[in-house]
Structure 1
């Protein structure tokens, strides 16, 4: 039976909110506003050795943070998210990193990434998602692809559904056994993965997401390398990052929740309509 989201004003309002959150200015754009100049200039000023180390550090941080973040939360779907508490944790982490200087940023990265991952999982839980479900873990990782494109991305590869497509393409390179499971079980394929298969899936996904998250982390390093950086600025940048990914997670999981009720195609279509109407107005 076909159910139209427009027949449920509350859900349609939620979709509009999600579009507003997911199509807001990028994280790199917000960082540029924060430091008062294009972030690209600060990125180019980074030592080449730093840029080379970022992707490996980001990949390791994503791997370690996702299990720690989900394990530390009670699995209680619909429980309200602790938005301010996670911002406070992130700000404290950034303040410590800022106080001890640029050399501590790689040490601070796993901590701040875990805090942000935990805040994303907290939002997922508040939208009714089961934290023990492998698909929820996958979606929490995907949120970190939303911060901004990598330098290798095409300029058109932006926006919520484009980023969803970006991460889905990564799965096409999985082994034959995972492809067969996906073909047999469709959207619920991840529920049928054995631990080894699940780990293989996550490794591919994290590697793909790291190319985008790594770009935003490089931008973060560049912003914190500005000479006037201190504890206060480090705290502010971490709070900015956490705020962005909390908003992104909220929009992301609203859309996923609505897709489960109304179907992927209808929500994607209505999402595009709302987005285009907002641009015109």
Structure 2
């Protein structure tokens, strides 16, 4: 049986909304992210100055932090209401400054809290778009947001992997996705830790990096769940809308 042919989107309303999502995605890697991309490039060399034990254990620590953060973020939803983006960004920025001020020990202690806050913010955005963060499916989608390139990436921060990845929605699928995201995220978090190793100066870097992380992932989450809501509300094929969005994003690189 021949594969289904997906026709281009022509509905003016859908075209307008796809264009808006593409602009939001590009905006996530705007001027502030470009400055932090330079910081990431500088931090890359500093990673080698981290203690060997920290470097070798970073991937495993990231995987454990993601696993723990997912559960902690989900539990917190029954205690603390979802917050506006600016509140999440301000809190994460303050935590980054505090962690950086304490040098490497402070940065290591702050790391799981930052990961939890990022996941909590992503879950809140999922709920805002009408999806249930308690479901395995949506928990998986929240992790897929983390599969995108981080704000310290050396390119423009655009990564289509989180749009196209297909993962079975089971308990093992969630664990597998955490294991898949951890290596990529551990590289970025390693640069974050390296930038925070100098007290005082580290506080500035920690605040800046956390600001970028939170702003970036909240924007990416809004694109991700905005696309899913668009497909749900319009009845249009999500794969087609995804292809249309990717085409719009990559056309402006």
| TM-score of the alignment, normalized to the shorter chain, above 0.5 | yes
Q: TM-score range by the shorter chain?
A: 0.7 to 0.9
| Number of residue pairs matched by the alignment | 241
1:242 maps to 2:244: no
Give CA-to-partner distance per residue, 1:218-272, whole Å, 9 cap, x none.
1111221256524343223212211111111111111222233311332133123
Q: Relative to 1, partners in 2 of residues 1:241 and 1:31: Cα closer, same or farther, differing over 3 Å?
A: same
Deviations, residues 170-221 of structure 1 (Å, cap 9, x unaligned): x4xxxxxxxxxx6xxxxxxx4xxxxxxx432211110001111111111111
Contact persistence 1:138–1:202 (CA under 8 A) = yes
Partner of residue 102, structure 2: 100
* Distance (Å, rounded) in 2 between the aligned partners of 1:108 and 1:148: 18
* TM-score, length of structure 1 as denominator length: 0.73
- Cα distance in structure 1, aligned partners of 2:135 and 2:7: 26
Give the Cα–Cα distance (whole angstroms) in 1 for the partners of residues 122 and 73 of structure 2.
Answer: 9
- SS of 2:77 mapped into structure 1: coil
| Matched residue, 1:263 | 237
Counting only pairs closer than 5 Å after superposition, residues 91-240 of structure 1 correspond to structure 2 as 91-148=93-150, 159-165=158-164, 167-168=165-166, 171=167, 190=169, 198-226=170-198, 229-240=201-212
Secondary structure at the aligned position of 1:262 is classed as: coil
* Residue of structure 2 equivalent to 1:177: none
Q: 1:80 to 1:112 in 2, by over 3 A?
A: closer
Question: 2:3 is matched with which residue?
Answer: none
Q: How far is 1:146 from its partner?
A: 1.0
Alpha-carbon offset, residue 162 of structure 1 = 2.8
**Secondary structure of the structure 2 residue equivalent to 1:46:** coil
- Superposed displacement of residue 80, structure 1: 8.1
Structure 2: gaps spanning 5 or more residues: 1-5
Structure 1 residue aligned with 2:55:
51
Aligned to 1:32: 37
The aligned residue for residue 73 of structure 2 is: 69
Contact residue 17 and residue 251 of structure 1 kept, 8 A: no
Where 1:130 maps in the other structure, the secondary structure is coil
CA distance in 2, matches of 1:258, 1:272: 15
| CA root-mean-square deviation | 3.3
